[in-house]
Chain A
Amino acid sequence: MEKIRIGTVALAIFIALVGVIGTAEAGSYNGNSAAVYAITYAINPNPAYRDFTNDGGDCANFVSQSLLAGGWEEIGKYSYTSDDAWYYDGSYTPLYSYTWTSATHLYNFMMRHSNRATYRSLSNTLWPNYFQRGDIIQIDYQKDGIIDHSMIVTGTNGNDLVMAYHTPNSKDKSLQEIVNANPNARFIGWHINANY
């Protein structure tokens, strides 16, 4: 009986430790490296990755590639539907996670991993004070809670931010112009933390 009790306690401690180790994350992010990658592959996609342009949209896939280039580490293989996983190993599920390829799931991942990304409102229009190269901007056109588009900051221009995105493949786009053209949309800003 005593042996069973000791065994149960040991198992509980083991499971708890595995849980802690499993969720503990440590890494660093270099926004400049992410921005350089984004500029390089904004117009001509990196052939090492599946291009989702004609398969529903490539914006989140492109932003995820840039985040990886900036230093984000993949996590949660191969729980492809989990919003706690983020990885790309190949062109078909379950070899990539939905958080890698879907704007909404990437949003969910960042919401759940505040150690990696910090939500920042765009209501203060002195954007360069709050955002820097390698940060992420997302758009919810209908304000229905579904994220439709993801973009990456590649530079600043006065008080404006310069963006790159896919579908359509674009770079050097003014965030101010995008905001002006979508007055009814909800914009979500993410500062990607240098260390997590």
Chain B
Amino acid sequence: MTMKYLNKKLIIAILIIGIGLWLAYINGIFTPFIEKITNETPKAKINAYIQAIVRGDKIIALNIWEISSENNLLKERKEEITSELISDKINSKFNIVNVEWWDTCCVPSITNNPRTAGGARVNVELTDNNGNKYSYIFDVFVPGGYEGAAVGYPVRVWVVRDIYKAGDKPLFWTRKSGEL
């Protein structure tokens, strides 16, 4: 009798925990953790590109930098910057100076909330073997944008879209914040 009662209680407890975990999952509570362990972050994508550069693996570096459209200027930049960085003999360690997060839904705008962002404009400081420093901007975006809570905070897939020297103009993400 007691055993049966305990089993019932156990089943109810497992059921409640299961429903709780399911609700947490569909509302994206675990998403930041999943993104971190699966390396789906702008930093991880930048790191993958830089490590390929350090190894001199141009093909891998070019594959990481994905161009979404037939933008010839961006094609040229991709080839140029990648070759330049390989010849600069940069170090594998890099420093993220600043991240500008972008909400991509509705009218795209800069946000303080990385969790809802579909884009990251990352200012990265690179150093070569002689100690010279280079400041680059990495535009890393989620293809198709990100709608956050509207679709239950799914795991984002980040892609390097553009890389350019600080001060140069972006060729992929040219929008101004909050302007339709």
Contact = CB atoms under 8 A, between A and B. Distances in A.
Contacts of A98: 150-152
B147 interface: yes
Sorting the interface of chain B by its residue count into under 10, 10 to 19, 20 to 34 or 35 or more gives 20 to 34
Nearest to B116: A56
A80 B69 CA distance: 33
A101 interface: yes
A146 interface: yes
A141 B153 CA distance: 21
Given A103-B106, A167-B106, A57 B113 contact: no
Sorting the interface of chain A by its residue count into under 10, 10 to 19, 20 to 34 or 35 or more gives 35 or more
A54 B137 CA distance: 25
Contact of B148 (A52, A141, A144, A166): A52
Contacts of B143: 144
Interface string A73-90: 000000010000000000
B179 A181 contact: yes
Contact of A102 (B68, B104, B109, B150): B150
B180 A55 contact: no
- Chain B interface helix/strand/loop/mixed: loop
Contacts, number: 95
B116 A55 contact: yes
B14 interface: no
A148 B151 contact: no
Contact of B146 (A56, A80, A150): A56
A93 B26 contact: yes
Given A54-B116, A142-B68, A144-B144, A105 B151 contact: yes
B145 interface: yes
Given A52-B149, A55-B148, A102-B151, A167 B179 contact: no
B166 interface: no
A61 B150 contact: yes
Contact of B106 (A59, A144, A145): A59
19 contacts: A52-B150, A55-B149, A56-B103, A56-B116, A56-B148, A56-B150, A56-B153, A57-B148, A57-B150, A101-B149, A102-B151, A103-B106, A104-B147, A105-B151, A145-B144, A146-B145, A149-B105, A167-B106, A173-B180
Given A56-B148, A102-B150, 11 more contacts: A55-B116, A57-B116, A57-B150, A59-B107, A101-B151, A103-B105, A141-B108, A144-B144, A149-B106, A149-B107, A181-B180
